[in-house]
Structure 1
């Protein structure tokens, strides 16, 4: 399946414009395959939030919003924590929680992540300010993705610099807020324009070169988008959203409601930057063949952007998640790359020792294929002189090679169990899987906001 070959018409007639789409979309209008993608992303994001909750990054931001963003009359709650804070504060902290563990979904052409902001923003509005049914919650979820991803593709087509995801997923957050608050068309336009204006056009490659807790700008994107909708509800005006209205986006918005960008999402098997995952997949491919044999050096051929992720001895989780040598070595040494690998496993000498022997070469052909394709090839040179090579491979989880539903559930359970225990994790998974059938999203929100037994 090509990236753009998922067009499925829900109803005959011309596609709606963005404002109509935001307010008129219904869960039953969405094609079945897209609804299934939405259910998978919902489960995956909740699991990643659970995995990210114990990180230093999440703790700092949660404590910050608890201290400085009081809930007022109607607030929202922090995931796997329970504290009530303001609606923008909850969106900000819960986005930080998901973004803290780089295991969440993404879109190739948007070159980033919608879900890390879409779900936290949706939860923030749906807790006390605008509670809703499960079907309405899921419709808001999908419309947020559709607006955000298109804004991201438009942004990258209109500027040369590579901006963080917060620059464009803020518009998805604002769209959800406009729907939840019942804004009229003018107010919705102002919300989108304000979200774009206030969204963080952060230079993403700066965080690639210097990995820190700012990550992909999700915290600021969520805060900007949610705040924009709340301000518009009070009469605040914003400049027109150029990412929706202007020429660089011509053709990107004309198929809204026909081509579903939600169905083009990739889902990650490993909690590290997507750019390094092809190299991990290559390592997994030859691990059994080189098990127990001494490796002299490893040569990874990949695209330019991935080649900048060179850390071998990560001192922080962020450095581990934005490293190519470290997770490749972990896959070869342990046969897995999981949340523990990039949090509590940073001092694993067997892994860091092998990471030192990883050489990275830039492939012109693989670089030219980015971002539509992200690929790598691995060459293992053994002390015996034998050379073992892989073909060029991509990471599993792309739209063409999706993770199975079983794989996703197992990933969810693995991420959640250390925090909530397995029985609670299974219960949450079952609630999420049937959410569209439920009269209220409240029980799911309650379940994922309770203070968990595994958090000290």
Structure 2
């Protein structure tokens, strides 16, 4: 199967039952993150921007205003990215669903796609995006944000939903790859701001590429699609959707192993934060680079290793409320974050990016050291969350924002999507949050 054959030829009946079940839960998780991120400052700014600068009649997610399809994709991708709790793919060191979902949702709605076609397009997008990300990492030395391969992924979804022919699809992919945001991920790691992972910009570029190609704008080939055959050889044999991780906490995945190690020691020894003098972390280089130990804004707190680990020690978990702009001035959290020692480990470096290891030592005020085992994040694809755990996460995020009745209605609409079509879902997603 070629990438173009995947885009236009994949059918719901081709998918294993486990893949069909997983895409429903993956979509539910993305919607929960979108709801949780709706109230962030980043989300408010980008939705205002889309409404003002991207005029059009397409409805925006959780907003009363409209924009162009590209503007809707921009706003939706950045709203999800504003709360860093969405699924990801270890080989990509990034995320596929965040740029894919808002583009596919808007275009499916505008094209009158069926529920089955929408779900199949999302599965196709995960399969396409996983391999596009691997191809890009193999062909360029820089570490670019998810928006870079997210642009071609959004274009692939759009080409399918708009029914482009083979040659026009090639041009859409080439335009998206060429104009997709090759933004420097490690710059944002060193200096975290609202630019984050580039997902919204990639989603916007992918949607724009599809409409440009349909009008005759040329751009083929997409190098990552047409000149990396070894990456695409297992299409139809390996289901990359089943290799995505989920996040129990809305912070950068690179901080999750230290967080889990802190939580394991806290629980095993019944510790309170006041008993801990200092936290020391051994982990991989990229996690050490998440060096924002005194964040002033939510985006800085989410792109940190020390602050989430301190939150875990103080609260025993990490919730969106702990990361809000106005919640960051917590004395015990700040004390532990500022005093934390981060050390790079060759053991952890050797395993990255396929596995993310950390080992934590808690130095207690009485002088005793407590050391964890080498620890990995929860909910990796090798040990995924249960359906009940993901549904619980969704409600924890969505219920406070949407209300339980509306959150339940979205969950029910997703479950019935293959039978009822998109309207029951989009009726909920395109209505504003009061």
The answer to whether the aligner puts 1:269 opposite 2:254 as a matched pair is no
Aligned positions, number: 431
State which of 116, 119, 131 in structure 2 corresponds to 1:135: 116
Contact 2:62 / 2:432 at 8 angstroms: preserved in 1?
A: yes
Partners of 2:54 and 2:279 lie apart in 1 by 48
Equivalent position of 1:245 in the other structure: 226
Partners of 1:290 and 1:390 lie apart in 2 by 14
3-state SS, counterpart of residue 35 of structure 1: helix
Contact 2:32 / 2:398 at 8 angstroms: preserved in 1?
A: yes
Equivalent position of 1:160 in the other structure: 141
Equivalent position of 2:34 in the other structure: 49
Partners of 2:316 and 2:61 lie apart in 1 by 31
> Displacement of 1:433 after TM fit?
2.5
The answer to whether the aligner puts 1:259 opposite 2:235 as a matched pair is no
The answer to whether the aligner puts 1:384 opposite 2:393 as a matched pair is no
Contact 2:172 / 2:220 at 8 angstroms: preserved in 1?
A: no
> Where do 4+ consecutive residues of structure 1 move more than 2 Å?
none
Equivalent position of 1:82 in the other structure: 64
Contact 1:143 / 1:172 at 8 angstroms: preserved in 2?
A: no
* Structure that is richer in helix per residue: 2
Equivalent residues in 2 for 1:25-174, closer than 5 Å: 25-71=10-56, 75-128=57-110, 130-174=111-155
Equivalent residues in 2 for 1:186-265, closer than 5 Å: 186-246=167-227, 249-265=228-244
Partners of 1:378 and 1:39 lie apart in 2 by 36
State which of 280, 292, 302 in structure 2 corresponds to 1:299: 280
Contact 1:77 / 1:127 at 8 angstroms: preserved in 2?
A: no
Equivalent position of 2:333 in the other structure: 351
Partners of 1:299 and 1:436 lie apart in 2 by 49
Equivalent position of 1:278 in the other structure: 257
Equivalent residues in 2 for 1:310-349, closer than 5 Å: 310-343=291-324, 344-349=326-331
> Displacement of 1:124 after TM fit?
1.4
Partners of 2:355 and 2:42 lie apart in 1 by 30
State which of 338, 345, 348 in structure 2 corresponds to 1:366: 348
Contact 1:43 / 1:433 at 8 angstroms: preserved in 2?
A: no
> Displacement of 1:408 after TM fit?
0.8
> Displacement of 1:260 after TM fit?
1.1
Contact 1:47 / 1:415 at 8 angstroms: preserved in 2?
A: yes
Partners of 2:165 and 2:85 lie apart in 1 by 36
Question: TM-score when scaled to structure 1?
Answer: 0.93
Partners of 1:250 and 1:185 lie apart in 2 by 18
Partners of 2:39 and 2:117 lie apart in 1 by 31
More off after superposition, 329-338 vs 341-350: 341-350
Contact 1:149 / 1:169 at 8 angstroms: preserved in 2?
A: no
Partners of 1:97 and 1:432 lie apart in 2 by 20
Contact 1:148 / 1:170 at 8 angstroms: preserved in 2?
A: no
> Displacement of 1:389 after TM fit?
1.0
> Displacement of 1:444 after TM fit?
0.3
3-state SS, counterpart of residue 340 of structure 1: helix
More off after superposition, 194-203 vs 411-420: 411-420
Note closer, same or farther for the CA distance 1:258–1:375 as it changes in structure 2 (3 Å cut).
Answer: same
Partners of 1:433 and 1:277 lie apart in 2 by 30
Equivalent position of 1:413 in the other structure: 395
> Displacement of 1:252 after TM fit?
1.2
Write the deviation string for residues 38-77 of structure 1: whole angstroms up to 9, x where unpaired.
1111000000000111011111110011011111xxx321
Partners of 2:229 and 2:261 lie apart in 1 by 38
Contact 1:197 / 1:239 at 8 angstroms: preserved in 2?
A: no
Partners of 1:448 and 1:184 lie apart in 2 by 30
Write the deviation string for residues 149-188 of structure 1: whole angstroms up to 9, x where unpaired.
1110111011111011111011110011111111000000
The answer to whether the aligner puts 1:423 opposite 2:408 as a matched pair is no
The answer to whether the aligner puts 1:435 opposite 2:417 as a matched pair is yes
Cα-Cα RMSD: 1.1
